[in-house]
């Protein structure tokens, strides 16, 4: 991974991520397939779409069916891959801030889910957890996924050197 230049990390844009990222999916100007035999498409490859789809699927099944391991893992996968694909497309300079922000959004959603069932106080929440209230537990799985995403993004971002030579500049 770290051998890839920042240009490579933008599979389509071909622009240096140090430049103002252009949210465009192809090189500009792009030669079009013309009858005269020239066709230079973008470098047509990205690992993220499959992962985004997988994350959405697993998180949907996990949260809805109340399968908490799938809910947490799926949401983390989804949030991380959305940040990754957004970065790759050149919409963000660094994926970590977006991953963290999405994590915070998940925490908020999870807290809201809990709040729809019980007042946000320690006693009632503990009671609901003891009674295995399905919606409260689902809310906590969403909160957990959000925390993992946020903390993970902060940690990884802090670890990076930010030299701009990595696939994911920190």
Partner 1 sequence: MAGEQLALTVLMGVLLVAVAGFLARMEDWRSYTPLGGASTISGSGYGGGHAEKPAGIVRWFTTVDHKDIGILYGIYALIAFFWGGAAVLLMRAELAAPGFDIMQAQFYNSLLTSHGITMLFLFGTPIIAAFSNYFIPLLIGADDMAFPRINAIAFWLLPPGAILIWAGFFTAPLGIGIDPAQTSWTMYTPLSAEQANAGVDLMLLGLHLTGVSATMGAINFIATIFTERGDDVNWANLDIFSWTILTQSALILFAFPLLGSALIMLLLDRNFATTFFAVEGGSPILWQHLFWFFGHPEVYILVLPPMGLVSWILPKFSGRKLFGFKFVVYSTLAIGVLSFGVWAHHMFSTGIDPRIRASFMAVSLAIAIPSAVKTFNWITTMWNGKLRLTAPMLFCIGFISNFVIGGITGVFLAAVPVDLILHDTYYVVGHFHYVVMGMIAFAGMGALYYWFPIVTGRMYQRKLAKIHFWLSMIGTNITFFAFLVLGYLGMPRRYATYQFDGAIAPLAQVTTLHQISTVGAFLIGIGQLVWAWNMVQSWYEGPEVEDADPWNLKDDGMFGREFQWFEAQKLAADGGDDEVAADGGEVKTDGGHRKAVRRVDE
| Cβ closest to partner 1, residue 64 vs residue 112 | 64
Interface with partner 1, residue 151, by CB under 8 A: no
Give Rg (Cα) of the chain: 20
Q: Which of helix, strand or coil describes residue 48?
A: helix
89 binds partner 1 (CB under 8 A): yes
* Residue 1 within binding range of partner 1, rule CB under 8 A: yes
Looking at residues 21 to 60 of the shown chain, list those that interact with partner 1 (rule: CB under 8 A).
25-27, 30-54, 56-58, 60
Burial 76-91 (b: 16+ CB within 10 A, else e): bbbbbbbbbbbbbbbb
Pick from 76, 114, 125, 137: which binds partner 1 (CB under 8 A)? 76
**Residue 112 makes contact with partner 1 by CB under 8 A:** no
Residue of 14, 124, 152, 164 that binds partner 1 (CB under 8 A): 14
Q: 7: number of CA atoms within 13 Å, CB side?
A: 5
Q: Is residue 95 within 8 Å of 87, Cβ to Cβ? A: yes
Question: In the chain, what's the furthest Cα-to-Cα distance?
Answer: 74
Chain residues that interact with partner 1, rule: CB under 8 A: 1-5, 7-8, 11-12, 14, 25-27, 30-54, 56-58, 60-61, 64-65, 67-70, 72-74, 76-77, 84-85, 88-89, 134-135
């Amino acid at each position: 991974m770290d051998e890839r230049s920042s240009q490579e990390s933008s599979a389509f844009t071909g622009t240096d991520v140090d430049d103002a990222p252009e949210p465009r999916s192809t090189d500009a100007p792009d030669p079009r397939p013309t009858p005269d035999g020239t066709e230079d498409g973008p470098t047509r490859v990205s690992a993220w779409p499959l992962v985004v789809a997988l994350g959405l699927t697993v998180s949907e099944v996990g949260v809805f069916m109340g399968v908490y391991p799938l809910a947490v893992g799926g949401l983390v996968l989804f949030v991380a891959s959305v940040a990754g694909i957004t970065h790759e497309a050149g919409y963000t300079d660094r994926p970590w801030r977006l991953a963290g922000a999405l994590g915070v959004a998940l925490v908020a959603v999870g807290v809201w889910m809990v709040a729809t069932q019980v007042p946000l106080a320690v006693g009632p929440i503990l009671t609901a957890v003891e009674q295995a209230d399905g919606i409260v537990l689902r809310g906590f799985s969403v909160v957990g996924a959000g925390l993992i995403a946020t903390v993970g993004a902060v940690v990884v971002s802090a670890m990076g050197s930010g030299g701009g030579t990595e696939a994911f500049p920190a």
